Structure 1
Amino acid sequence: MKPLRLLVLGCLLLFAPGGWCEELVVLVDRAADMPMSRIENGRLTDGVHKMLGEALARGTGRELRFLLLPRKRIARALQQGEADILCGYTPEWIEGDYLWTETVFTAEEVVVTDAGQPQPHAIADLRGQAIGTILGYQHPEIEKILGAGFVRDDSPNMETNLEKLARGRVHHILIARGVLEYRQRLRAIPLKLHPPLSAASFNTRCAVSRKGHLSLEEANRAIAAAARDGTLARILAQFR
Protein backbone atom coordinates (compact mmCIF):
# COMPACT_ATOMS: atom_id res chain seq x y z
CA MET A 1 0.00 0.00 0.00
CA LYS A 2 1.35 3.45 -0.91
CA PRO A 3 2.53 5.69 1.97
CA LEU A 4 -0.11 8.37 1.33
CA ARG A 5 -2.89 5.77 1.41
CA LEU A 6 -1.48 4.45 4.66
CA LEU A 7 -1.60 7.99 6.05
CA VAL A 8 -5.25 8.39 5.10
CA LEU A 9 -6.13 4.95 6.49
CA GLY A 10 -4.30 5.81 9.70
CA CYS A 11 -6.30 9.01 10.06
CA LEU A 12 -9.55 7.14 9.55
CA LEU A 13 -8.66 4.48 12.10
CA LEU A 14 -7.38 7.03 14.61
CA PHE A 15 -10.42 9.25 14.54
CA ALA A 16 -13.16 6.69 13.74
CA PRO A 17 -16.05 6.51 14.22
CA GLY A 18 -16.90 10.14 14.91
CA GLY A 19 -13.71 12.09 14.22
CA TRP A 20 -12.05 13.42 11.12
CA CYS A 21 -8.60 13.79 9.64
CA GLU A 22 -7.54 17.39 9.06
CA GLU A 23 -7.00 18.25 5.41
CA LEU A 24 -4.01 19.84 3.73
CA VAL A 25 -5.08 21.84 0.67
CA VAL A 26 -2.19 22.41 -1.75
CA LEU A 27 -2.72 25.01 -4.45
CA VAL A 28 -1.38 24.29 -7.97
CA ASP A 29 -1.36 26.49 -11.07
CA ARG A 30 -3.38 24.80 -13.82
CA ALA A 31 -1.00 26.25 -16.43
CA ALA A 32 2.01 24.43 -15.00
CA ASP A 33 3.19 21.50 -17.10
CA MET A 34 5.81 18.77 -16.79
CA PRO A 35 8.07 18.30 -15.03
CA MET A 36 6.14 20.45 -12.56
CA SER A 37 2.64 19.07 -13.15
CA ARG A 38 0.66 16.70 -15.31
CA ILE A 39 -3.08 17.31 -15.16
CA GLU A 40 -5.41 14.72 -16.68
CA ASN A 41 -9.21 14.95 -16.58
CA GLY A 42 -8.99 17.70 -13.98
CA ARG A 43 -6.70 15.71 -11.67
CA LEU A 44 -3.03 16.19 -10.83
CA THR A 45 -1.43 12.86 -11.76
CA ASP A 46 2.34 13.46 -11.85
CA GLY A 47 5.14 15.97 -11.45
CA VAL A 48 7.11 17.87 -8.86
CA HIS A 49 4.05 19.59 -7.38
CA LYS A 50 2.30 16.26 -6.82
CA MET A 51 5.28 14.61 -5.17
CA LEU A 52 6.04 17.63 -3.01
CA GLY A 53 2.40 17.87 -1.93
CA GLU A 54 2.50 14.21 -0.92
CA ALA A 55 5.67 14.83 1.10
CA LEU A 56 4.06 17.77 2.89
CA ALA A 57 0.97 15.70 3.69
CA ARG A 58 3.10 12.93 5.18
CA GLY A 59 5.15 15.44 7.13
CA THR A 60 2.10 17.16 8.60
CA GLY A 61 0.02 14.02 9.15
CA ARG A 62 -2.87 15.30 7.06
CA GLU A 63 -5.07 14.09 4.26
CA LEU A 64 -4.04 15.70 0.98
CA ARG A 65 -6.21 17.60 -1.47
CA PHE A 66 -4.94 19.53 -4.49
CA LEU A 67 -6.76 22.66 -5.60
CA LEU A 68 -6.07 23.37 -9.28
CA LEU A 69 -6.76 26.94 -10.35
CA PRO A 70 -5.91 29.27 -13.26
CA ARG A 71 -2.87 31.47 -12.65
CA LYS A 72 -4.95 34.64 -12.21
CA ARG A 73 -7.01 33.14 -9.39
CA ILE A 74 -4.14 31.75 -7.32
CA ALA A 75 -3.28 34.83 -5.26
CA ARG A 76 -6.86 35.57 -4.26
CA ALA A 77 -7.56 31.96 -3.34
CA LEU A 78 -4.50 31.77 -1.11
CA GLN A 79 -5.24 35.11 0.55
CA GLN A 80 -8.81 34.03 1.31
CA GLY A 81 -7.75 30.71 2.82
CA GLU A 82 -9.25 28.50 0.12
CA ALA A 83 -5.93 26.64 0.19
CA ASP A 84 -3.25 26.22 2.84
CA ILE A 85 -0.05 26.38 0.82
CA LEU A 86 1.42 27.15 -2.62
CA CYS A 87 4.93 25.93 -3.47
CA GLY A 88 7.54 26.71 -6.09
CA TYR A 89 7.38 30.51 -5.80
CA THR A 90 9.30 33.46 -4.39
CA PRO A 91 7.74 36.55 -2.77
CA GLU A 92 8.48 38.60 -5.90
CA TRP A 93 6.36 36.34 -8.08
CA ILE A 94 3.01 36.60 -6.39
CA GLU A 95 1.10 39.51 -4.89
CA GLY A 96 -0.33 39.28 -1.41
CA ASP A 97 0.64 38.88 2.23
CA TYR A 98 1.73 35.34 3.08
CA LEU A 99 3.99 33.46 5.45
CA TRP A 100 7.03 32.15 3.58
CA THR A 101 8.79 28.86 4.33
CA GLU A 102 12.45 28.06 4.19
CA THR A 103 13.91 27.19 0.77
CA VAL A 104 12.53 24.05 -0.85
CA PHE A 105 14.41 23.98 -4.19
CA THR A 106 17.10 26.13 -5.77
CA ALA A 107 16.55 26.81 -9.45
CA GLU A 108 18.04 28.78 -12.34
CA GLU A 109 16.15 30.66 -15.02
CA VAL A 110 17.81 30.87 -18.42
CA VAL A 111 17.21 32.39 -21.83
CA VAL A 112 17.63 30.05 -24.77
CA THR A 113 17.95 31.09 -28.40
CA ASP A 114 17.31 29.20 -31.63
CA ALA A 115 20.68 28.13 -33.05
CA GLY A 116 19.61 29.50 -36.43
CA GLN A 117 19.75 33.04 -35.00
CA PRO A 118 22.78 35.12 -34.00
CA GLN A 119 24.04 34.02 -30.60
CA PRO A 120 23.46 36.54 -27.81
CA HIS A 121 26.35 36.80 -25.36
CA ALA A 122 24.52 38.71 -22.64
CA ILE A 123 20.90 39.38 -21.64
CA ALA A 124 21.39 42.99 -22.72
CA ASP A 125 21.83 41.75 -26.31
CA LEU A 126 18.11 40.85 -26.33
CA ARG A 127 16.87 44.40 -25.80
CA GLY A 128 13.93 45.06 -28.11
CA GLN A 129 13.62 41.42 -29.23
CA ALA A 130 10.58 39.31 -28.35
CA ILE A 131 11.19 36.77 -25.60
CA GLY A 132 8.78 33.92 -24.98
CA THR A 133 7.31 34.15 -21.47
CA ILE A 134 4.37 32.67 -19.57
CA LEU A 135 1.31 34.83 -18.98
CA GLY A 136 1.13 36.15 -15.43
CA TYR A 137 4.72 35.33 -14.44
CA GLN A 138 7.07 38.11 -13.42
CA HIS A 139 10.79 38.35 -14.28
CA PRO A 140 12.22 41.24 -12.23
CA GLU A 141 15.84 40.39 -13.04
CA ILE A 142 15.18 40.61 -16.79
CA GLU A 143 13.13 43.78 -16.35
CA LYS A 144 16.01 45.38 -14.44
CA ILE A 145 18.47 44.67 -17.27
CA LEU A 146 16.26 45.38 -20.28
CA GLY A 147 13.83 47.97 -18.90
CA ALA A 148 11.40 49.09 -21.59
CA GLY A 149 13.35 46.88 -24.01
CA PHE A 150 11.92 43.74 -22.39
CA VAL A 151 9.46 42.64 -25.07
CA ARG A 152 7.30 39.80 -23.76
CA ASP A 153 5.59 37.24 -26.01
CA ASP A 154 3.23 35.55 -23.55
CA SER A 155 1.97 31.99 -23.82
CA PRO A 156 -0.35 30.05 -21.49
CA ASN A 157 2.32 27.48 -20.61
CA MET A 158 5.87 26.34 -21.35
CA GLU A 159 4.83 23.65 -23.84
CA THR A 160 3.35 26.36 -26.06
CA ASN A 161 6.50 28.46 -25.67
CA LEU A 162 8.70 25.57 -26.77
CA GLU A 163 6.49 24.88 -29.78
CA LYS A 164 6.64 28.55 -30.78
CA LEU A 165 10.43 28.36 -30.54
CA ALA A 166 10.51 25.17 -32.62
CA ARG A 167 8.32 26.76 -35.33
CA GLY A 168 10.29 30.02 -35.42
CA ARG A 169 7.44 32.14 -34.06
CA VAL A 170 9.83 33.38 -31.37
CA HIS A 171 13.62 33.08 -31.30
CA HIS A 172 14.20 33.33 -27.55
CA ILE A 173 12.36 31.99 -24.50
CA LEU A 174 12.75 32.19 -20.74
CA ILE A 175 12.74 28.79 -19.08
CA ALA A 176 14.02 27.07 -15.93
CA ARG A 177 17.19 25.13 -16.69
CA GLY A 178 15.77 21.95 -15.17
CA VAL A 179 12.62 22.19 -17.28
CA LEU A 180 14.69 22.79 -20.42
CA GLU A 181 16.86 19.73 -19.78
CA TYR A 182 13.82 17.56 -19.04
CA ARG A 183 11.98 18.70 -22.17
CA GLN A 184 15.00 18.31 -24.43
CA ARG A 185 15.53 14.77 -23.16
CA LEU A 186 11.94 13.81 -24.04
CA ARG A 187 11.82 15.36 -27.51
CA ALA A 188 12.25 12.92 -30.41
CA ILE A 189 14.42 15.57 -32.07
CA PRO A 190 15.87 17.99 -29.49
CA LEU A 191 15.73 21.67 -30.37
CA LYS A 192 18.97 23.12 -31.74
CA LEU A 193 19.84 25.92 -29.36
CA HIS A 194 22.71 28.18 -28.45
CA PRO A 195 24.14 27.59 -24.94
CA PRO A 196 21.67 29.01 -22.36
CA LEU A 197 22.23 32.46 -20.91
CA SER A 198 21.75 32.57 -17.15
CA ALA A 199 19.05 35.09 -16.30
CA ALA A 200 18.51 34.53 -12.57
CA SER A 201 19.12 32.08 -9.75
CA PHE A 202 16.52 31.85 -7.04
CA ASN A 203 15.42 29.85 -4.03
CA THR A 204 11.84 28.69 -4.41
CA ARG A 205 9.75 28.48 -1.28
CA CYS A 206 6.17 27.84 -0.24
CA ALA A 207 3.65 30.56 0.54
CA VAL A 208 1.48 29.64 3.52
CA SER A 209 -1.94 31.27 3.74
CA ARG A 210 -2.55 33.42 6.82
CA LYS A 211 -6.19 32.26 6.71
CA GLY A 212 -5.46 28.57 6.15
CA HIS A 213 -5.22 25.69 8.60
CA LEU A 214 -1.47 25.13 8.36
CA SER A 215 1.09 26.96 10.48
CA LEU A 216 4.43 28.13 9.12
CA GLU A 217 6.16 25.98 11.75
CA GLU A 218 4.35 22.84 10.54
CA ALA A 219 5.27 23.57 6.93
CA ASN A 220 8.92 24.17 7.76
CA ARG A 221 9.13 20.97 9.82
CA ALA A 222 7.69 18.96 6.92
CA ILE A 223 10.12 20.52 4.44
CA ALA A 224 13.08 19.92 6.75
CA ALA A 225 12.05 16.28 7.19
CA ALA A 226 11.77 15.81 3.42
CA ALA A 227 15.25 17.27 3.00
CA ARG A 228 16.75 15.06 5.72
CA ASP A 229 15.35 11.79 4.43
CA GLY A 230 16.32 12.54 0.81
CA THR A 231 12.77 13.03 -0.51
CA LEU A 232 13.49 16.44 -2.04
CA ALA A 233 16.63 15.17 -3.77
CA ARG A 234 14.74 12.17 -5.16
CA ILE A 235 11.99 14.39 -6.52
CA LEU A 236 14.48 16.47 -8.50
CA ALA A 237 16.48 13.44 -9.62
CA GLN A 238 13.38 11.78 -11.05
CA PHE A 239 12.81 14.61 -13.53
CA ARG A 240 16.38 15.29 -14.64
Structure 2
Amino acid sequence: MRSAWGALLLVTMEGLAAEPPLRFSIADSWAMPVVQIERGRPTQGILHDMLASLATQVGRPAEFHVLARARVQAAMDHKEIDIRCYAAKSWLANQPGDYLWSVPLFVQRDLLVAREHLPITPKDLSPQPIGTVLSYTYPSLQPLFDSHQLLRDDARNQEQVLQKLWAGRYRYAVSNQWTLDWFNQTLPADQQLHGVAVLQEQAVGCIIRNDPALPVQRVLRTLLRMKMSGEIDDLIGLYTGRRPTEDPSLSYETP
Protein backbone atom coordinates (compact mmCIF):
# COMPACT_ATOMS: atom_id res chain seq x y z
CA MET A 1 0.00 0.00 0.00
CA ARG A 2 2.82 2.37 0.96
CA SER A 3 4.58 1.72 -2.36
CA ALA A 4 1.34 2.42 -4.25
CA TRP A 5 0.96 5.81 -2.53
CA GLY A 6 4.62 6.53 -3.24
CA ALA A 7 4.15 5.78 -6.92
CA LEU A 8 1.04 7.99 -7.07
CA LEU A 9 2.91 10.87 -5.37
CA LEU A 10 5.81 10.47 -7.80
CA VAL A 11 3.46 10.62 -10.79
CA THR A 12 1.75 13.75 -9.36
CA MET A 13 5.07 15.49 -8.74
CA GLU A 14 6.33 14.59 -12.18
CA GLY A 15 3.11 16.01 -13.68
CA LEU A 16 3.58 19.34 -11.88
CA ALA A 17 7.25 19.46 -12.79
CA ALA A 18 6.35 18.93 -16.44
CA GLU A 19 4.31 22.16 -16.47
CA PRO A 20 6.50 25.05 -17.68
CA PRO A 21 6.72 27.97 -15.25
CA LEU A 22 5.02 31.32 -15.58
CA ARG A 23 7.91 33.78 -15.89
CA PHE A 24 7.24 37.09 -14.13
CA SER A 25 9.31 40.28 -14.32
CA ILE A 26 10.33 42.05 -11.12
CA ALA A 27 11.77 45.56 -11.53
CA ASP A 28 14.86 46.05 -9.37
CA SER A 29 13.72 49.62 -8.64
CA TRP A 30 10.68 48.41 -6.69
CA ALA A 31 10.74 48.57 -2.90
CA MET A 32 8.49 47.40 -0.09
CA PRO A 33 5.60 47.02 0.19
CA VAL A 34 5.54 46.25 -3.57
CA VAL A 35 8.34 43.70 -3.27
CA GLN A 36 11.39 42.88 -1.14
CA ILE A 37 14.46 41.79 -3.14
CA GLU A 38 17.18 39.92 -1.25
CA ARG A 39 20.29 38.56 -2.97
CA GLY A 40 18.67 39.13 -6.33
CA ARG A 41 15.45 37.27 -5.50
CA PRO A 42 12.01 38.55 -4.44
CA THR A 43 11.00 37.22 -1.04
CA GLN A 44 7.83 39.06 0.01
CA GLY A 45 5.59 42.01 -0.77
CA ILE A 46 2.25 42.70 -2.45
CA LEU A 47 3.44 41.79 -5.96
CA HIS A 48 5.46 38.76 -4.86
CA ASP A 49 2.56 37.29 -2.91
CA MET A 50 0.01 38.09 -5.62
CA LEU A 51 2.07 36.51 -8.41
CA ALA A 52 2.91 33.44 -6.34
CA SER A 53 -0.81 32.95 -5.64
CA LEU A 54 -1.67 33.52 -9.31
CA ALA A 55 0.79 30.84 -10.44
CA THR A 56 -0.52 28.37 -7.85
CA GLN A 57 -4.13 28.93 -8.88
CA VAL A 58 -3.25 28.59 -12.58
CA GLY A 59 -1.36 25.38 -11.82
CA ARG A 60 2.10 26.48 -12.93
CA PRO A 61 5.35 27.07 -11.04
CA ALA A 62 6.31 30.75 -10.59
CA GLU A 63 9.66 31.95 -11.92
CA PHE A 64 10.77 35.49 -11.05
CA HIS A 65 13.20 37.48 -13.19
CA VAL A 66 14.65 40.55 -11.44
CA LEU A 67 15.51 43.10 -14.11
CA ALA A 68 16.38 46.76 -14.47
CA ARG A 69 13.13 48.58 -15.20
CA ALA A 70 14.43 49.77 -18.58
CA ARG A 71 15.00 46.15 -19.64
CA VAL A 72 11.61 44.71 -18.71
CA GLN A 73 9.75 45.42 -21.94
CA ALA A 74 12.67 44.23 -24.07
CA ALA A 75 12.64 40.96 -22.10
CA MET A 76 8.97 40.53 -22.93
CA ASP A 77 9.53 41.35 -26.59
CA HIS A 78 12.27 38.70 -26.73
CA LYS A 79 10.04 36.14 -24.95
CA GLU A 80 12.33 35.94 -21.94
CA ILE A 81 9.40 36.63 -19.60
CA ASP A 82 5.68 35.97 -19.95
CA ILE A 83 3.90 38.38 -17.62
CA ARG A 84 4.61 41.94 -16.52
CA CYS A 85 2.57 43.33 -13.65
CA TYR A 86 2.21 46.73 -12.00
CA ALA A 87 2.11 48.41 -15.41
CA ALA A 88 -0.18 51.01 -16.98
CA LYS A 89 -1.34 51.21 -20.57
CA SER A 90 -0.11 54.80 -20.78
CA TRP A 91 3.43 53.59 -20.00
CA LEU A 92 3.37 51.06 -22.84
CA ALA A 93 1.27 52.83 -25.45
CA ASN A 94 3.46 51.84 -28.40
CA GLN A 95 4.81 48.45 -27.39
CA PRO A 96 5.36 46.01 -30.27
CA GLY A 97 4.13 42.44 -30.21
CA ASP A 98 0.86 40.78 -29.30
CA TYR A 99 -0.17 41.30 -25.69
CA LEU A 100 -3.34 41.17 -23.62
CA TRP A 101 -4.13 43.25 -20.53
CA SER A 102 -5.71 42.12 -17.30
CA VAL A 103 -8.45 44.09 -15.59
CA PRO A 104 -7.12 47.02 -13.51
CA LEU A 105 -5.80 45.58 -10.25
CA PHE A 106 -4.44 48.58 -8.33
CA VAL A 107 -4.47 52.36 -8.34
CA GLN A 108 -1.01 53.93 -8.23
CA ARG A 109 -1.10 57.32 -6.53
CA ASP A 110 2.07 59.37 -7.02
CA LEU A 111 2.68 62.09 -4.46
CA LEU A 112 5.05 64.97 -3.92
CA VAL A 113 6.46 64.23 -0.47
CA ALA A 114 8.15 66.46 2.10
CA ARG A 115 9.19 66.43 5.76
CA GLU A 116 6.88 69.37 6.51
CA HIS A 117 3.13 68.93 6.16
CA LEU A 118 2.49 72.01 4.03
CA PRO A 119 0.44 71.52 0.82
CA ILE A 120 2.10 73.03 -2.24
CA THR A 121 1.65 73.36 -5.99
CA PRO A 122 4.72 71.96 -7.82
CA LYS A 123 4.88 74.83 -10.34
CA ASP A 124 5.28 77.26 -7.42
CA LEU A 125 8.48 75.61 -6.18
CA SER A 126 11.72 77.56 -6.41
CA PRO A 127 14.54 76.01 -8.51
CA GLN A 128 15.86 73.00 -6.58
CA PRO A 129 16.64 69.27 -6.80
CA ILE A 130 13.86 66.76 -6.23
CA GLY A 131 14.13 63.08 -5.35
CA THR A 132 13.23 60.70 -8.19
CA VAL A 133 13.82 57.08 -9.21
CA LEU A 134 16.27 56.31 -11.99
CA SER A 135 14.51 55.73 -15.37
CA TYR A 136 11.06 56.59 -13.98
CA THR A 137 9.00 59.15 -15.89
CA TYR A 138 6.89 61.79 -14.17
CA PRO A 139 4.60 63.38 -16.80
CA SER A 140 3.16 66.06 -14.52
CA LEU A 141 6.65 67.23 -13.53
CA GLN A 142 8.35 66.87 -16.91
CA PRO A 143 7.74 70.50 -17.98
CA LEU A 144 9.45 71.63 -14.77
CA PHE A 145 12.39 69.32 -15.46
CA ASP A 146 12.61 70.58 -19.05
CA SER A 147 12.73 74.20 -17.90
CA HIS A 148 15.28 73.32 -15.17
CA GLN A 149 13.02 74.71 -12.50
CA LEU A 150 13.32 71.29 -10.88
CA LEU A 151 16.37 69.04 -11.15
CA ARG A 152 16.12 65.26 -10.88
CA ASP A 153 18.16 63.65 -8.11
CA ASP A 154 17.89 59.97 -9.07
CA ALA A 155 18.18 57.04 -6.69
CA ARG A 156 18.09 53.34 -7.53
CA ASN A 157 14.73 52.63 -5.93
CA GLN A 158 11.82 54.28 -4.17
CA GLU A 159 13.01 53.45 -0.66
CA GLN A 160 16.36 55.15 -1.26
CA VAL A 161 14.54 58.27 -2.50
CA LEU A 162 12.62 58.53 0.77
CA GLN A 163 15.71 57.79 2.87
CA LYS A 164 17.52 60.68 1.21
CA LEU A 165 14.54 62.97 1.75
CA TRP A 166 14.33 62.03 5.42
CA ALA A 167 18.08 62.66 5.78
CA GLY A 168 17.68 66.17 4.35
CA ARG A 169 19.42 65.67 1.00
CA TYR A 170 16.57 67.59 -0.64
CA ARG A 171 13.28 69.16 0.46
CA TYR A 172 10.91 67.27 -1.85
CA ALA A 173 10.68 63.86 -3.50
CA VAL A 174 8.22 61.80 -5.51
CA SER A 175 6.78 58.63 -3.99
CA ASN A 176 3.82 56.37 -4.51
CA GLN A 177 1.35 56.16 -1.65
CA TRP A 178 2.16 52.54 -0.75
CA THR A 179 5.89 53.13 -0.30
CA LEU A 180 5.28 56.26 1.73
CA ASP A 181 2.89 54.39 4.05
CA TRP A 182 5.40 51.56 4.45
CA PHE A 183 8.30 53.94 5.13
CA ASN A 184 6.33 55.86 7.76
CA GLN A 185 5.48 52.69 9.70
CA THR A 186 9.03 52.65 11.10
CA LEU A 187 9.08 56.32 12.18
CA PRO A 188 7.67 58.19 15.19
CA ALA A 189 4.69 60.36 14.31
CA ASP A 190 6.67 63.59 14.59
CA GLN A 191 9.32 62.34 12.13
CA GLN A 192 7.08 60.93 9.42
CA LEU A 193 7.08 62.17 5.83
CA HIS A 194 3.99 63.77 4.31
CA GLY A 195 2.29 63.86 0.94
CA VAL A 196 1.92 67.53 0.03
CA ALA A 197 0.50 67.23 -3.50
CA VAL A 198 -1.07 64.49 -5.63
CA LEU A 199 0.82 64.32 -8.93
CA GLN A 200 -1.21 61.64 -10.67
CA GLU A 201 -3.40 58.60 -10.14
CA GLN A 202 -3.71 55.77 -12.61
CA ALA A 203 -4.95 52.22 -12.81
CA VAL A 204 -2.29 49.53 -13.19
CA GLY A 205 -2.57 45.84 -13.97
CA CYS A 206 -0.77 42.99 -15.71
CA ILE A 207 0.14 42.39 -19.35
CA ILE A 208 0.71 38.88 -20.75
CA ARG A 209 2.18 37.72 -24.04
CA ASN A 210 -0.60 36.36 -26.26
CA ASP A 211 1.25 33.13 -26.90
CA PRO A 212 -0.53 29.79 -27.59
CA ALA A 213 2.01 28.11 -25.33
CA LEU A 214 0.75 30.14 -22.36
CA PRO A 215 -2.55 29.66 -20.47
CA VAL A 216 -3.48 33.24 -21.33
CA GLN A 217 -7.23 33.17 -20.67
CA ARG A 218 -6.76 31.14 -17.49
CA VAL A 219 -4.33 33.79 -16.20
CA LEU A 220 -6.69 36.64 -17.07
CA ARG A 221 -9.71 34.92 -15.50
CA THR A 222 -7.73 34.12 -12.37
CA LEU A 223 -6.58 37.73 -11.96
CA LEU A 224 -10.19 38.88 -12.38
CA ARG A 225 -11.33 36.40 -9.72
CA MET A 226 -8.52 37.45 -7.34
CA LYS A 227 -9.54 41.09 -7.70
CA MET A 228 -13.29 40.58 -7.36
CA SER A 229 -12.94 38.18 -4.41
CA GLY A 230 -10.98 40.78 -2.44
CA GLU A 231 -7.78 38.70 -2.33
CA ILE A 232 -5.67 41.45 -3.91
CA ASP A 233 -7.13 44.21 -1.75
CA ASP A 234 -6.50 42.03 1.32
CA LEU A 235 -2.83 41.79 0.36
CA ILE A 236 -2.63 45.57 0.08
CA GLY A 237 -4.20 45.92 3.52
CA LEU A 238 -1.82 43.34 4.98
CA TYR A 239 1.28 45.27 3.90
CA THR A 240 0.11 48.89 4.09
CA GLY A 241 -2.22 48.76 7.08
CA ARG A 242 -5.24 49.93 5.12
CA ARG A 243 -7.37 48.07 2.63
CA PRO A 244 -8.22 50.25 -0.37
CA THR A 245 -11.80 51.14 -1.08
CA GLU A 246 -13.17 50.07 -4.44
CA ASP A 247 -12.58 52.69 -7.12
CA PRO A 248 -15.74 53.09 -9.25
CA SER A 249 -13.58 54.28 -12.16
CA LEU A 250 -12.03 50.81 -12.53
CA SER A 251 -13.79 48.37 -14.84
CA TYR A 252 -13.90 44.68 -13.89
CA GLU A 253 -15.44 43.29 -17.03
CA THR A 254 -14.47 39.77 -18.02
CA PRO A 255 -11.64 39.85 -20.62
How would you bin the TM-score normalised by the shorter chain? 0.7 to 0.9
Corresponding position of 1:5:
none
Give the residue type in structure 2 aligned to 1:89: A
Residues 192 and 53 of structure 1, relative CA distance in 2, 3 Å threshold:
closer
Q: Is the partner of 1:162 in helix, strand or coil?
A: helix
Q: Is the partner of 2:161 in helix, strand or coil?
A: helix
Residues 132 and 212 of structure 1, relative CA distance in 2, 3 Å threshold:
farther
Q: Is the partner of 1:202 in helix, strand or coil?
A: strand
Alpha-carbon distance in structure 1 between the residues aligned to 2:195 and 2:65: 37
Residues 192 and 224 of structure 1, relative CA distance in 2, 3 Å threshold:
closer
Residues 202 and 114 of structure 1, relative CA distance in 2, 3 Å threshold:
same
Residue 128 of structure 1 deviates from its aligned partner by: 3.3
Alpha-carbon distance in structure 1 between the residues aligned to 2:30 and 2:9: 32
Instruction: Give unpaired runs (5+ residues) of structure 2.
Output: 1-7, 241-255
Give the residue type in structure 1 aligned to 2:142: E
Indicate if the aligned counterparts of 1:12 and 1:20 stay in contact, CA closer than 8 A.
no
Corresponding position of 2:68:
70
Give the residue type in structure 1 aligned to 2:112: V
Q: Structure 2 matches for 1:208-223, cutoff 5 A?
A: 208-210=208-210, 213-214=213-214, 216-223=216-223
Give the residue type in structure 1 aligned to 2:207: A
Residue 31 of structure 1 deviates from its aligned partner by: 2.3
Alpha-carbon distance in structure 1 between the residues aligned to 2:212 and 2:186: 38
Alpha-carbon distance in structure 1 between the residues aligned to 2:179 and 2:11: 38
Q: Structure 2 matches for 1:174-193, cutoff 5 A?
A: 174-187=174-187, 191-193=191-193
In the alignment, structure 1 residue 234 sits paired with structure 2 residue 226:
no
Residues 102 and 179 of structure 1, relative CA distance in 2, 3 Å threshold:
same
1:96-150 Cα deviation digits (max 9, x unpaired)? 334322201112110012329xx45212223633221100111113225765334
Pairs aligned (count) = 229
Give the residue type in structure 2 aligned to 1:111: L
Alpha-carbon distance in structure 1 between the residues aligned to 2:20 and 2:34: 26
TM-score (norm 1): 0.83
TM-score (norm 2): 0.78
Corresponding position of 2:141:
142
Which shows bigger deviation, 96-105 or 144-153? 144-153
Q: Is the partner of 1:217 in helix, strand or coil?
A: helix
In the alignment, structure 1 residue 196 sits paired with structure 2 residue 196:
yes
Larger Rg: 2
Give the residue type in structure 2 aligned to 1:121: I
Residue 77 of structure 1 deviates from its aligned partner by: 0.7
1:16-74 Cα deviation digits (max 9, x unpaired)? 49x81131111101221111111222221100121111122133221111111122321
Alpha-carbon distance in structure 1 between the residues aligned to 2:223 and 2:10: 21
Give RMSD over aligned pairs: 2.9
Which shows bigger deviation, 24-33 or 192-201? 192-201
Q: Is the partner of 2:33 in helix, strand or coil?
A: coil
